């Protein structure tokens, strides 16, 4: 076989040769040269079995750095039990971060693997990068490590692997609500950095994960500043939040079927009628240098489903949300939808709502920072404030027909 990096002819390409000649792994070589792994690998490199005997026992007292790394990965939900092993999966784009993490986890007997699996469903060979250790090596630090590892060290590992930066806010998905709550409380009490818990789990999502978002723009800046020195020592961690990359807009379209009527409408829209609404949600922002995306379409869909579709689909709009009781027009719907979504999608740049194929409304509302200061649009709550004309109402509605009072009769 001919190596496209060094030009040598080798019996088979493996990481031993490639790391020597080009400092690439096989998977990176395959991507760089646009070659399917099937064409590069020999059959005995695929689906190689693994044995627990190949792994060293953990050291008696893992270092503090190792314990912090393990806790950060646990918060991130990256420790996956798998047939007697614990695997930490990493992406090929972030191989160096995975190896940085391994460097801290060797005390537990973790090893790096790039494994190649034949998938019978797609007839493709796919590569996976992972850190692996026998589950038995982690028993002492598996549940509640004592004493607890230092918070900021664990948080740095967590953030490098899991945090995302959207429009000036940090989003942090934790594998369990209890971790999210612990981190939120610790940041608030010790550093006066405030976060909000968001519910972004889907109907079919039984992971029980919990999402934190830094509360304000200032909280996001403060958290990055606090973590900067630590993140800068970790490959691809700091650049993920700070690298300047091109901007792009992404749009997701979802539909819901609803009934409504328009109060006091002079034409037939005052009658109860139904229809299919098509909602397009657009998010604009920088392309995350690690994911290559502005926002994950799956997250976008989950958020819109949870906050909007589940509320309105097969419901009566006027009774599904207080804000629409009087006017369930597309315009009012858009203002309402915007205010719901902006908390989860601070990069929200536009929504379009079709009531029919040839009638639609475009809307751009306030930024999250503006909404936090100014509150909800008062347009949505015309009946919250009591009428100022109390006397007039009582006199003319409660006691119709009573003679009008004159100025001199009021004492």
* Ramachandran region, residue 194 (left: φ > 0; alpha: ψ -120 to 50; beta: rest): beta
Q: Is 42 a catalytic residue?
A: no
Is the Cβ of residue 6 or residue 218 nearer to Zn ion in the bound state? 6
Q: Is 314 a catalytic residue?
A: yes
Q: What is the binding site for Zn ion (CB under 5 A)?
A: 3, 5-6, 21
Structure tokens at 163: 């945090």
Q: Please give, one letter per residue, the 3-state secondary structure of 72-122.
A: HHHHCCCCEEECCEEEEEECHHHHHHHHHHHHHHHHHCCEEEEEEEEECCC
Distance CA 235, CA 227 (A): 14
Is the Cβ of residue 7 or residue 266 nearer to Zn ion in the bound state? 7
In the complex, the smallest distance separating the C-beta of residue 27 from Zn ion, rounded to whole angstroms, is 15
Which residue in 28, 282, 339, 355 is the catalytic one? 355
Residue 232's contacts (CB-CB under 8 Å, 6 or more residues apart) are 238
DSSP bridge pairs for 165: 170
DSSP bridge pairs for 349: none
Which residue in 269, 316, 331, 343 is the catalytic one? 269
Which residue in 33, 314, 322, 391 is the catalytic one? 314
Is the Cβ of residue 29 or residue 174 nearer to Zn ion in the bound state? 29
Structure tokens at 382: 């015309």
Is the Cβ of residue 3 or residue 369 nearer to Zn ion in the bound state? 3
As a residue count, the chain comes to 411
In the complex, the smallest distance separating the C-beta of residue 35 from Zn ion, rounded to whole angstroms, is 14
Helix, strand or coil, per DSSP, at residue 400: coil
With tokens 């606090």, the residue in question is 226
Strand order in the sheet with 124-134: 80-82, 85-90, 124-134, 111-119
Q: What does 144-181 look like in DSSP terms, one character per residue?
A: S-SSPPPHHHHHHHHHHHH-EEETTEEEEEESSHHHHH
Q: Is 355 a catalytic residue?
A: yes
In the complex, the smallest distance separating the C-beta of residue 24 from Zn ion, rounded to whole angstroms, is 9
Active-site residue numbers?
269, 314, 355
């Amino acid at each position: 076989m001919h190596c496209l990096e060094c030009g040598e002819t080798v019996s088979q390409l493996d990481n031993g040769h490639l790391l020597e000649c080009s400092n690439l792994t096989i998977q990176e070589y395959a991507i760089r040269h646009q070659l399917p792994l099937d064409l590069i690998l020999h059959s005995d490199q695929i689906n190689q079995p693994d044995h627990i005997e190949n792994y060293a026992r953990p050291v008696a007292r893992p270092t503090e750095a190792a314990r912090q790394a393990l806790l950060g990965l646990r918060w991130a939900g990256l420790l996956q039990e798998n047939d007697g092993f614990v695997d930490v999966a990493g992406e090929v784009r972030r191989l160096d971060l995975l190896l940085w993490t391994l460097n801290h986890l060797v005390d537990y007997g973790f090893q790096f693997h790039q494994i190649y699996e034949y998938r019978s469903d797609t007839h493709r060979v796919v590569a996976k990068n992972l850190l692996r250790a026998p589950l038995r090596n982690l028993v002492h630090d598996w549940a509640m490590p004592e004493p607890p590892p230092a918070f900021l060290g664990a948080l740095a590992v967590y953030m490098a692997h899991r945090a995302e930066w959207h429009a000036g806010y940090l989003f942090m998905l934790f594998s369990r609500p209890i971790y999210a709550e612990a981190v939120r409380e610790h940041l608030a009490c010790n550093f006066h950095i405030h976060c909000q818990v968001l519910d972004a789990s889907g109907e079919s999502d039984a992971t029980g994960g919990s999402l934190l978002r830094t509360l304000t723009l200032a909280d996001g800046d403060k958290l990055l500043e606090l973590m900067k020195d630590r993140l800068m020592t970790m490959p691809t961690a700091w650049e993920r939040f700070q690298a300047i990359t091109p901007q792009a807009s992404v749009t997701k379209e979802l539909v819901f079927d609803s009934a409504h009527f328009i109060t006091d409408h002079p034409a037939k829209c005052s009658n109860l009628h139904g229809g299919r609404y098509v909602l397009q949600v657009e998010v604009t922002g920088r392309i995350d240098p690690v994911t290559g995306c502005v926002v994950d379409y799956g997250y976008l869909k989950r958020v819109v489903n949870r906050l909007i579709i589940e509320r309105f689909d097969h419901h009566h709009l006027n009774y599904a949300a207080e804000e629409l009781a009087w006017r369930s027009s597309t315009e009012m719907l858009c203002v309402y939808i915007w205010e719901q979504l902006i908390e989860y999608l601070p990069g929200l740049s536009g929504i379009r709502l079709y009531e029919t194929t040839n009638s639609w409304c475009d809307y751009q509302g306030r930024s999250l920072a503006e909404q936090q200061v100014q509150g909800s649009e008062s347009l949505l709550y015309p009946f919250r404030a009591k009428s100022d004309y109390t006397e007039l109402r009582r006199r003319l509605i409660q006691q119709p027909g009573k003679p009008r009072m004159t100025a001199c009769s009021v004492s």
